[in-house]
Amino acid sequence: MKTVSVVLRAGLRDLSRNPWIGTYAAAFFLVTEGLFWFGGTGPQVVLSVLNVVLLVVPLVSVVFGVIHVYASREFVELLLAQPVSRTRLFLGLYLGLVIPLAGAFIAGTAVPFALHLRAGASLGVVIALLVCGVSLSLVFGGIATWIALRTDDRLKGVGLAIGAWLLATIVYDGVVLAVAAAFSAWPLERPMLAMMMANPVDLGRVVVLTQLDAAALMGYTGAVFTRAFGSVPGLAVASVVLMLWCAAPLALAARRFKLRDF
Amino acid sequence: MIAFSHIRKRYGARDVLTGVSLDVRPGTVTGLVGPNGSGKTTLIKILLGLSRADAGAVWCDGSMVDGEGDYRRAIGYMPQIARFPDNLCVRDIIELMRALRPGADVDDELIAAFGLHTEFDKTLGALSGGTRQKVNAVIAFLFRPQIVVLDEPTAGLDPVASRALKDKIARVRDEGRTVLITSHILAELEELADDIAFLCDGSLQFAGSVDALLAQTRETGLEAAIASLLRTRASVRPSRDVEHDVATTANATCALQTAGA
């Protein structure tokens, strides 16, 4: 694992000095702190920040990720010419991308909550919010890496990344609502649960909702999920599926990295 | 020391290498030349394991090149394009490379020759293309590799750095190590290369010493000899391809002559 740690350290050093990562952390800090500033209570702030997280974290992770992987192409070739294993090199590169993204999100979001401990947000809810953001960073960082390794055309890659984000965050909920409306006479709870598990953004939402007990505020699938599973089992199932979602694009990207020509 | 055997490689519908067999003599500088798109970089990438051949085999330092990367301990590589993470310093890159090859004997001669010490704490994004290319060259020679693979090494270097690099290549050869070098600058190869391998349209048209090439083509310079090979090749190909050949050969000769000028 020496290769992984060496390449990871270099990635962390590079992206920790990247101004966009600093801006990303600062943006979450300003949003969260601003919501407290305007008088929000803990749960209200969590819900508001959750809406931002569900849109912004996938977008930044997938677009920044795909651009970063393309920009690293020649450097990756140089690293591959060293006596290293492809799989270990890939892991180091992937972690060097997603850890700074997740770290910037945590720093920007956790600090305001720590500064406003008396605002009423429980530790469990805040942790669920952070787990949601970190998971989405891992999932969409993996998707970005996979897209950039699949497509040599950079413009097409960025387009696919934005398409993946649109699909997961906006189009998908519309499809779910359309299905619900079209088949309203049928028992839809199980299909809805399956559809929710097929989208990491919905899953991330449920991880937080099961802690907040505010499912009805956050869309049809969230309400169905919480009602079906209850709070604790729902969180466990959502967490397991979310972990699978983190692993799936990573596995696809790792396989692509191992087999592709550079 | 390096042997390519019947290497075939296809990208989509295009045959990039069509059964290339080449032995690179140990302790020599071998110049790999050919027009743009002739397959030089692909051949190098197959040697380095960056690309996989569709058919054929490569032996490097006695072991067959496969998916494992251990054989690359013997290889130093200088790619044509020098791009590094913008926010890392030169020092970070050198330390990264050292960490990837723990225990390797370090040769920092080129760092001094290029005067890179003054740039060590600058981020690579702030450096010029030429300075980044110097970093690339330093990395290629840093661990005293038995085989040095250089892809267009002097492109982008100033004359002083270019001279220092060429002197280094000559010293490495004198130490009995092997250098494989691609370049469009034929005058440079004339100065450095012991052997020439000439690729065109994915097949090897000539492999041998520079003297043998000059004798075969009855020319006095490398540039004229390569142009002669291209003319000969055009004249022996099937008549149905004549029109295509003339255009291809004219372009290829033009590309070589322009680059060599």
**A65-121 residue pLDDT tens:** 999 999 999 999 999 999 999 999 999 999 999 999 999 999 999 999 998 877 677
More confident residue, A13 or B229: A13
Distance of CA B253 to the CA centre of its chain: 19
Closest-approach residue (CA) in chain B for A74: B83
Q: What proportion of chain A, given as a percentage, has pLDDT over 90?
A: 62
Residue A251 has pLDDT above 90, yes or no: yes
pTM: 0.86
Pairing status of strand B178-182 against strand B195-200 = unpaired
| Whole-number pLDDT of residue A203 | 86
Residue A14 has pLDDT above 70, yes or no: yes
| Contact (CB, 8 A) for A45 and A35 | yes
Q: How large is the average pLDDT for residues B189-197?
A: 91
A114-123 long-range contacts, CB within 8 A, separation 24+: A115/A33, A115/A36, A116/A36, A116/A42, A116/A45, A119/A36, A119/A40, A119/A41, A119/A42, A119/A45, A120/A41, A120/A42, A120/A43, A121/A41, A121/A42, A121/A43, A121/A45, A121/A46, A122/A42, A122/A211
Q: How large is the average pLDDT for residues B122-150?
A: 93
Residue B239 has pLDDT above 80, yes or no: no
| Whole-number pLDDT of residue B81 | 86
Q: What is the mean pLDDT of chain B?
A: 86
Q: Do B102 and A261 lie within an 8 Å CB cutoff? A: no
| Contact (CB, 8 A) for B107 and B143 | yes
Residue B243 has pLDDT above 60, yes or no: no
Closest CA to B162 of B194, B144, B193, B185: B185
| Whole-number pLDDT of residue A187 | 81
Q: What is the pLDDT of residues B97-121, one digit of tens each?
A: 999 998 888 888 899 999 898 999 9
Closest-approach residue (CA) in chain A for B41: A262
Q: How large is the average pLDDT for residues B185-200?
A: 90
Q: Do B48 and A81 lie within an 8 Å CB cutoff? A: yes
* Nearest by CB: A262 against B45, B71, B81: B45
For chain A, list residues whose CB is within 8 angstroms of any CB belonging to chain B: 2-3, 6-7, 10-11, 13-18, 71-75, 77-86, 261-262
* Nearest by CB: A81 against B75, B83, B96: B75
ipTM: 0.82
Q: What proportion of chain B, given as a percentage, has pLDDT over 70?
A: 90
| Whole-number pLDDT of residue B252 | 42
Residue B94 has pLDDT above 80, yes or no: yes
Q: How large is the average pLDDT for residues A134-163?
A: 96
Q: What is the mean pLDDT of chain A?
A: 89
Q: Cβ-count burial of A170 within 10 angstroms (0-12 exposed, 13-18 middle, 19+ buried)?
A: exposed
Closest-approach residue (CA) in chain B for A76: B84
More confident residue, B9 or B251: B9
Mutation target to probe the B interface, by most B beta carbons within 10 A, among A4, A7, A14 is A14
| Whole-number pLDDT of residue A110 | 93
| Contact (CB, 8 A) for B3 and B58 | yes
* Nearest by CB: A80 against B50, B83, B97: B50
Pairing status of strand B63-64 against strand B55-60 = antiparallel
Cα–Cα distance, B138 to B122 (Å, whole number)? 16
Q: Measured between beta carbons, which residues in chain A are less than 8 angstroms from residue B45? A: 261-262
Residue B131 has pLDDT above 90, yes or no: yes
Q: What is the pLDDT of residues B2-50, one digit of tens each?
A: 999 999 999 988 999 999 999 999 999 999 999 888 899 999 999 999 9
Q: How large is the average pLDDT for residues B60-73?
A: 82
Q: Name the band, by pLDDT with cuts 50, 70 and 90, for residue A229.
A: low
| Whole-number pLDDT of residue B188 | 87
Closest CA to B181 of B203, B161, B205, B165: B165
Q: Do B86 and A3 lie within an 8 Å CB cutoff? A: no
Amino acid at A166: L
Q: Do B100 and A261 lie within an 8 Å CB cutoff? A: no
Size of interface A-B (CB pairs under 8 A): 82
Q: Do B87 and A13 lie within an 8 Å CB cutoff? A: yes
| Whole-number pLDDT of residue A222 | 62
For chain B, list residues whose CB is within 8 angstroms of any CB belonging to chain A: 45, 48-52, 67-73, 75, 77, 79, 81-88, 92, 96-97, 99-102, 123, 136, 139, 149
Q: What is the pLDDT of residues A182-228, one digit of tens each?
A: 988 888 777 888 888 899 998 888 778 777 766 555 566 666 666 66
| Whole-number pLDDT of residue B66 | 76
Residue B259 has pLDDT above 50, yes or no: no
Cα–Cα distance, A106 to A103 (Å, whole number)? 5
Q: Do B50 and A17 lie within an 8 Å CB cutoff? A: no
Token pair 């795909």 in the structure block, residue:
A66
Q: Do A78 and B79 lie within an 8 Å CB cutoff? A: yes
Q: Do A13 and B79 lie within an 8 Å CB cutoff? A: no
| Contact (CB, 8 A) for B201 and B38 | yes
Q: What is the pLDDT of residues B212-238, one digit of tens each?
A: 999 988 888 888 898 888 888 777 665
Q: Cβ-count burial of B170 within 10 angstroms (0-12 exposed, 13-18 middle, 19+ buried)?
A: middle
Closest CA to A57 of A19, A103, A123: A103
Q: Do B87 and A261 lie within an 8 Å CB cutoff? A: no
